[in-house]
Structure 1
Amino acid sequence: MTDSTQTINDAQLRVKGIAALKKEFGMAATLRFLALMQQNPTDYVEISRQIYQEQSLDEIFVRAKQNWKG
């Protein structure tokens, strides 16, 4: 996480997130993605498992410490 993402408010985060999706997928796929996110419940535990499956716990903690600004 960069310094700029830690100081933005919720509205700014939404705008940046949608812009990133649009840049990556295009407008039609972005709208489809947003519709899917509202229609289907999201299992964040399963998403986390998929994101971190190839990483050790130590690697995850090192990255978390590097990005922690609390």
Structure 2
Amino acid sequence: MTDPTQTLNDAQLRVKALATLKQELGMAATLRFLALINQNSTDYVEISRQIYEGQQLDEIFSRAKQNWKG
């Protein structure tokens, strides 16, 4: 696995994400997942709530600051 702090360009991210989905879900479920994502609008606010649930705001910002490459 590559260094998680490494910045990936869009093509690299797409390839890595598809490979991970295929490895974890199998090809049929990966294709099904991609079809679901493309046909339904995505609620990024709800996704963010689920990802950051139980974490303190200062903890999230601290981690973001550590990984900022700007």
With the length of structure 2 as denominator, give the TM-score of the two structures: 0.87
Pairs aligned (count): 67
**Paired residues for 1:1-70 under 5 Å:** 1-3=4-6, 6=7, 8-70=8-70
User: In structure 2, what is the Cα distance between the partners aligned to 1:38 and 1:62?
Assistant: 33
RMSD (CA atoms): 1.1
Deviation at 1:9, TM superposition (A): 2.4
| Aligned residues with identical type, % of pairs | 76
Q: Report which structure shows greater RCO (CA 8 Å, sep ≥6).
A: 1
User: In structure 1, what is the Cα distance between the partners aligned to 2:37 and 2:5?
Assistant: 25
Residue deviations 1:11-66 (CA, integer Å, cap 9, x gap): 22111110011111111111111000001000001100111011000110111011
| Structure 1 residues not aligned, in runs of 5+ | none
Which runs of at least 4 in structure 1 moved beyond 2 Å after TM superposition?
none
